Amino acid sequence: MSKVATRFAPSPTGPLHIGGVRTALFNWLYSKNQNGNFFLRIEDTDKERSKEEYRKQIINSLEWIGINFDGEEYVQSKKIDDHIKVAHELLKKGNAYKCYCSSEEIEEQKKRAKQKKIPYIYDRKWREKKETDAPKDIKPVIRFKSKIDGTSILKDLVQGDVEIENNTIEDFVILRNDGTPTYNLSAAVDDHQMNMSHIIRGDDHKINTFKQIQIYQAMEWEIPSFAHIPLIHTIDGKKLSKRDKASTLDDYSKIGIMPDALRNYLLRLGWSYKDKEIFTIEESIKYFNLEGIGKSPSKLDMSRILSMNEHYIKNMNENDLFDQLIEYCNKFKKEIKTDKEDKIRKSLSFLKNKAKTLEDIFINGQYIIADEVIFNQDDIKLIDERAKKVINDFKVQFEKIDQPSREILEPVINGLIKSNNTNFKGVGQPLRIVLTGSKFGPGIYDIILSLGKKEVQKRLDTKIA
RNA sequence: GGUCCCUUCGUCUAUCGGUUAGGACACAUGGUUUUCAUCCAUGAAAGAGGGGUUCGAUUCCCCUAGGGACCGCCA
C-alpha cells in the first residue's frame, strides 16, 4: 500500500472557522498516526472572493493550534492549466461534451422546475447532439458525461456504504464558458496529482465525491479512500458557517482560550477513544483513528470549551502558562510592564485557581497589573470605622516587618483579630479591599506577598471613603 | 420537492446481543476554606415511537416521526 497522504483544502474566501479547523485536525492526525504526510492546498480559484488576508489567516490559524503541513503549500490557481488539460482529455476520450445552453436557458429551466416543485437536473440536451448544431454566438461549457444507469456505492470510511442512483447525478460542468475549471474537476485533478491516499472532509462534500470518483474512473486513476465526517452544528442545530459568531479561532483566542485546550476540545467533538477526555498532542496522534469518528453531527458547547481550557490552565506547566498569558495580554489586552512580570509569575499559582481563561487571569490579576487600585464602589461601602481601625492597626504593625512572609504575617493578623475582637473576615476583608479594590480575590497572604512590602505600604496609605 | 445521512442523560460521548446503560461538561446538594474560587463527596439526568428477528435487544432489520446536508458556469 502506498504511503498515507491527506490534505486540508480550504478556500480563502473567509476566515477559517472551527469546523474547518477540526477537519484539518482530523486529516493531520490521521496522516501522523499512519506515518504519512499532511498537505495544505489553498483552493483560490474563485478570484472574486479569494483574498490574500484570508489565506494568511488560515495558515496562521493552523499554526496557532499546532497543525503543521508537510512540504510546500499547494496553490490551486497555479495548477489551472493541468485541470484544463484534463478537461480536454476527457472531451477527447468521450467522457465529456460541450454544452451550448446559455446560462439564461439554464436559469429558466431551474425556475420552472422550482415552480413545479420537481427537482432540477440538467436535461443532458447536448450530450448526444452534434457539434454542427451548435449555435455560433454561444461559448460552450464542458460537461462531464455522468453515468446514467445503475447505482454507485461509496465505501466511506466513516459512513459505511453509501449507495446512490447514478441518474440523480447530473452532467456537471467541468469547464466554464470562460475556459476555467470548476471545483469538482480541479479537486479531483489536484488530489490525484498530489497522490492523496485518503480524503477526509465534511459531510457536505458527499455528492461531490460521487462526481469526483467518476472523473477518476474516466481518467483511469487510482481512487483514494474517502471519509466524510459529520458537520459541526451551532446550538440551534444548523451547519456552522463563517458568519456565525464565535466560530473563528480568533473569537476564542481573544477571550483567552489556549490552542491546546481548543485542540483537545475539537478532537473530542465527534471523535472518542474509550472514556479518555484529555489528550496531549502525542497521545492524540497515537490514538487517532477513523473508527472513532461518530456518524451524527455534534453541537458546539461553550461551557465545555471553557472547562477544557480551565483544565489546561490548572494542569499545565506554570512557565508555559506564564508565556501564554504574557503573549495573550500583549496581543489582546495591554502590554504587561516588565516590572510587573515577576509579580505575576509568582502569583500564577493562586491566580489560576479562579480562572477559566487567560482573560480571567488578566482580570483577577488586575490588582497587580494596574498601577492604580480600581475600587469597587459597593465594596468600599464595607469599609466602616471599625474596618479603618483594622487597616490602620495593620499598617502600624506592617511597617515593622522587613521581609514579609506568611510565617511572620500570620501572628500579626491573628493578633489583630484578637485586639479588634473580631474574626478573620473582620481583618481579611478590609485589607483585601484596600489592597485590591475588591472584596473578592486571592487569600490575604497571597495578596500581600505578591504585591511586596513597598506596594502594600503605598496602598495602605490610600484614603478610601 | 428530490437524493443522501443522522437519532443514548441538557451537551460531548462509552456500549461492538446479556451492563444496576458507564464517563466527562453543565446542573443540584453537602463538606473543606479568611471572601470569591479551587478541591472533595453525593445526587438528579438518556436509548424518538411502532413493528419484527432472537431465549434475550440501546445494539440487527423494516416503518413512522424528528433533525441535518446537498441539489451553482462557489469551493
Q: What ipTM does the predicted assembly reach?
A: 0.96
As a whole number, the mean pLDDT across chain A is 93
Mean pLDDT to the nearest integer, A391-400 = 94
Cβ–Cβ < 8 Å for A464, A383: yes
Residue A301 (CA) to nucleotide B28 (C1'), in angstroms, measures 20
- A286 has pLDDT over 70: yes
Q: Cα–Cα distances in Å, from A211 out to A5, A71, A169, A241, A391?
A: 21, 28, 7, 24, 77
Per the structure, the residue whose CA is closest to nucleotide B24 at C1' is A277
Is the CB of residue A173 inside 7 Å of nucleic acid strand B?
yes
- Per-residue pLDDT band for A245 (boundaries 50, 70, 90) equals confident
What would the DSSP string read from start to end of A172-233?
A: -EEE-TTSPBPHHHHHHHHHHHTT-SEEEEEGGGHHHHHHHHHHHHHHTPPPPEEEEEPPEE
Strands A141-144 and A173-175, sheet pairing: antiparallel
Closest CA to A178 of A209, A119, A228, A138: A138
Amino acid A163: pLDDT: 93
- A464 has pLDDT over 70: no
Q: Give the list of residues 6+ apart from residue A327 with CB closer than 8 angstroms, or none.
A: none
Amino acid A244: pLDDT: 85
Residue A95 (CA) to nucleotide B75 (C1'), in angstroms, measures 23
Local structure of A143: helix, strand or coil? strand
Give this prediction's pTM: 0.95
Using CA atoms of A199, A201, A205, A206 in order, give the dihedral in degrees to the nearest 10.
70
Tens digits of residue pLDDT in A296-345: 999 999 999 999 999 999 999 999 999 999 999 999 998 888 889 999 99
Domains and CATH numbers, chain A: 1-69+230-315 (3.40.50.620), 80-183 (3.90.800.10), 318-460 (1.10.10.350)
* Nearest nucleotide by C1' position to the A100 CA atom: B73
Evaluated on CA atoms A344, A346, A351, A356, the torsion sign reads positive
The one-letter code for the residue type at A71 is G
Per the structure, the residue whose CA is closest to nucleotide B37 at C1' is A354
